């Protein structure tokens, strides 16, 4: 039961960090695109 909770916690953390990095990446990409124009 404990290993399942750890697995779910790990997956949640990965999804959270992935979303954060994706948002950050899109923001930086959009800023660079705006500066290029």
1-37 tens-digit pLDDT: 689 999 999 999 999 999 999 999 999 999 999 888 7
User: What global pTM score does this model have?
Assistant: 0.59
Q: Which string of b and e fits 3-17 if b means at least 16 CB within 10 Å?
A: eeeeeeeeeeeeeee
d(CA 15, CA 31): 24
Per-residue model confidence (pLDDT) at position 37: 77
Burial class of residue 28 (count of CB atoms within 10 Å of its CB; 0-12, 13-18, 19+):
exposed
Helix ranges restricted to H, 1-37: 2-36
């Amino acid at each position: 039961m404990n290993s399942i909770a750890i697995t779910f916690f790990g997956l949640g953390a990965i999804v959270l960090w992935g979303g954060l990095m994706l948002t950050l990446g899109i923001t930086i990409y959009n800023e660079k695109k705006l500066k290029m124009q």
